[in-house]
Amino acid sequence: MSSADFKELGLSEPLLKALKDMGFEHPTEVQIRAIPHVLNGNDVIVKSKTGTGKTAVFGISLLQLTDPKEAGPQCLILEPTRELAVQVDKDLKQMARYVEHTSTAVYGQHNMDTEIRALENNITIVIGTPGRIYDHIQQDTLKTGNIRYLVLDEVDRMMDMGFIDQVRRIIRTLPVPEDRITLLFSATIPEEIAGLCRQYMKDPVSVDIESDTLTVDSIEQIYYRVEPDEKRTQLNRILLMERPKNCLIFANTKRAVNQIQNFFTRKGYASLALHGDIPQNRRLKNIEQFKKGECNILVATDVAARGIHVDDLALVINYDVPLDHDSYIHRVGRTGRAGNDGRAITLVTGEDIMTLYAIEEHVGRLIPEAELPADEELEEIRAEADAWIKANSIKIQPPKNKKTSGSRVSSNKKKTYSKPVQARKEAAQIPDKAAPAAQSAWKTAERQDADDNEIPVYSAEDILKANGLSKKPSLFTRIFGKFVKKIE
């Protein structure tokens, strides 16, 4: 197709300019097939998996169809999670860079007064989660009389999260279907969603995007058989073999997410966590840090990760096999976006194998088993692994100590260290003959994957230098109790 593809969709020059600034060169299949129907005033049902470019379908269309000078809000977009609502609002603001349209996001755990002040302005587009949207409608802080465009995004996920009844209540407050355009997007269309379409849409056009290439052809998928009590140890070894530019790790529970991140912290890796118990501001900050490459390892639950869109995500790891088949597609679909190659790895215990077989039937392909990394393989890539560890290590800021003349630290103020650094300093004083015992203890701990005994593996040189110590240790160490294992 030609370089004028977006122009051929009938978009205005300001929108074309914004899309160019965003790096959009050619429309995706779903954009080519769905945008013309929306611009023609049709209700549209889009069945498409994550990562196909459907946000731009409704974002571009709504900006093209609405007049920001008219009374608002004119458009309502419902999203299943806070993170996704924030992400869509951010995308719309980028698309609207050269037009006068305004948008705002409303969601739980966000300041209600701030949202009310934003809604008092003549906002063109409101994006939000069903619960918060309904709260504003009930309090009469969100006027629905002028809404002519309704977008129901990720409807299957909203159904899974129990939001469909709230969605129905919201729709009943809007103008009748004959007076509005309704756009529905979902990875799957089960009967309950089909009933929603029949009840609240008028003669909708269906756009069904085959997504096998998203999770089959463009993404390499493998799995490793692991024992339950060694999952974190094997996760670490796999990361050292893969050495991804960035990695999104999925776990089924908040507790597992916390355990994995704590494990990484003890290993000295910088990582971020994402789940429902983490405060909203912290979650949004974590997402931004991950997307900007400020931290390259993110551990998340399925629901919390719904707002993450990273075009160049190198690796997805299913630390836990997902509990439902569609979640596997959503997870794997995070990598291999925008024409990039993708890779997905799943850790499978004996109890998970039947679930994996069912997932294989669901995605229509066999997922090959791979051999876990052997010690010899890790030794061969030791230099590369050390470089990856250093690039992804926790950055420790040096303490601010008062200094006397020259560079000597004042004796009036006791030097303070983080626990790993203090342990490093003490370890450097332990005789070399302690190393054999430490090696035995370390190997035992690795086999047991014992959380309480796992230890930091920061680079001693890096951490000591970061903390302003003048002497480099002659011995690089790992601490296990009172033992020392030399890093050869």
pLDDT tens profile 299-357: 999 876 665 777 788 899 999 999 888 788 888 887 877 666 788 999 999 889 888 88
pLDDT band for position 252 (cuts 50, 70, 90) = very high
Q: Which residue has the higher pLDDT, 343 or 464?
A: 343
> What whole-number distance in Å separates Cα of residue 231 and Cα of residue 445?
13
> What whole-number distance in Å separates Cα of residue 105 and Cα of residue 102?
11
Model confidence at 399: pLDDT above 70: no
Q: Tell me, what's the pLDDT at 291?
A: 86
Mean pLDDT for 397-402 is 51
Q: Where are the beta strands (DSSP E) in 153-196?
A: 181-186
> What whole-number distance in Å separates Cα of residue 173 and Cα of residue 136?
12
pLDDT digits (tens, 9 = 90+) for 81-139: 888 898 899 999 999 999 999 999 999 888 999 999 999 988 999 999 999 999 999 99
SS3 state of residue 346? strand
Taking the domain 213-375, which CATH number applies?
A: 3.40.50.300
pLDDT digits (tens, 9 = 90+) for 21-61: 988 888 888 899 999 999 999 999 999 876 678 889 999 99
State the DSSP code for 271. Answer: -
State the DSSP code for 403. Answer: B
pLDDT band for position 4 (cuts 50, 70, 90) = very low
Query: Which helix (H) or strand (E) element contains residue 273?
Result: strand 272-274
Model confidence at 485: pLDDT above 80: no
Which of 18, 48, 328, 14 minimizes the C-alpha distance to 184?
Answer: 48
Cβ count near 458 (within 10 Å): 26
Q: Tell me, what's the pLDDT at 397?
A: 53
Residue 11 one-letter amino acid: L
Residue 248 one-letter amino acid: L
Mean pLDDT for 276-296 is 87
pLDDT digits (tens, 9 = 90+) for 341-392: 788 999 999 889 888 888 887 777 778 899 999 999 999 999 999 999 999 9
**Angle, vertex CA 127, rays to CA 299 and CA 58, nearest 5:** 95
Helices and strands, number each (H, E), in the chain? 21, 15
Q: Which residue has the higher pLDDT, 154 or 474?
A: 154
Q: Tell me, what's the pLDDT at 382?
A: 92
Is the sign of the CA dihedral 167, 173, 174, 176 positive or negative? Answer: positive
Model confidence at 449: pLDDT above 50: no
Q: What are phi and psi of 419, to 5 degrees?
A: -55, -45
Is 358:233 a contact under the CB 8 Å cutoff?
A: no
The whole-angstrom distance between residue 49's C-alpha and the CA centroid of its chain comes to 16
Which of 52, 141, 63 minimizes the C-alpha distance to 97?
Answer: 63
Q: Tell me, what's the pLDDT at 90?
A: 92
Model confidence at 452: pLDDT above 80: no
Q: Which residue has the higher pLDDT, 185 or 187?
A: 185
Tokens coding 118: 């934003």
Q: Look at phi and psi of residue 434 and say left if phi exceeds 0, alpha if psi is from -120 to 50, else beta.
A: alpha
Mean pLDDT for 393-411 is 53
- Kindly report the average pLDDT of the chain as a whole number: 79
Q: What are phi and psi of 272, to 5 degrees?
A: -125, 155
Mean pLDDT for 209-230 is 76
Which of 144, 186, 139, 193 minimizes the C-alpha distance to 164?
Answer: 193
> What whole-number distance in Å separates Cα of residue 147 and Cα of residue 124?
9
Model confidence at 188: pLDDT above 70: yes
pLDDT band for position 475 (cuts 50, 70, 90) = very low
Q: Tell me, what's the pLDDT at 216?
A: 55
Taking the domain 5-210, which CATH number applies?
A: 3.40.50.300
Model confidence at 483: pLDDT above 90: no
> What whole-number distance in Å separates Cα of residue 362 and Cα of residue 211?
12
Cβ count near 114 (within 10 Å): 11
Residue 200 one-letter amino acid: Y
Is 187:330 a contact under the CB 8 Å cutoff?
A: yes
Span of 132-136, 262-266, 299-303, 480-484 with lowest mean pLDDT: 480-484
Q: Tell me, what's the pLDDT at 217?
A: 57
Q: Tell me, what's the pLDDT at 50?
A: 63
Mean pLDDT for 51-75 is 90
pTM score, whole prediction: 0.56
Which of 292, 48, 65 minimizes the C-alpha distance to 185?
Answer: 48
Is 366:360 a contact under the CB 8 Å cutoff?
A: yes
- As annotated, the residues of the chain forming the CATH 3.40.50.300 domain(s) are 5-210, 213-375
Q: Are strands 297-300 and 272-274 parallel, antiparallel or unpaired?
A: parallel
> What whole-number distance in Å separates Cα of residue 416 and Cα of residue 283?
30
> What whole-number distance in Å separates Cα of residue 363 and Cα of residue 218?
13
How many percent of the chain have pLDDT more than 70?
76
The winner for highest mean pLDDT among 50-64, 232-246, 472-486 is: 232-246
Which of 361, 323, 317, 354 minimizes the C-alpha distance to 223?
Answer: 317
Tokens coding 416: 């303070």
Model confidence at 407: pLDDT above 70: no
Is 78:154 a contact under the CB 8 Å cutoff?
A: no
Mean pLDDT for 197-201 is 93
Is 84:153 a contact under the CB 8 Å cutoff?
A: yes
Tokens coding 222: 């493998």
> What whole-number distance in Å separates Cα of residue 232 and Cα of residue 238?
10
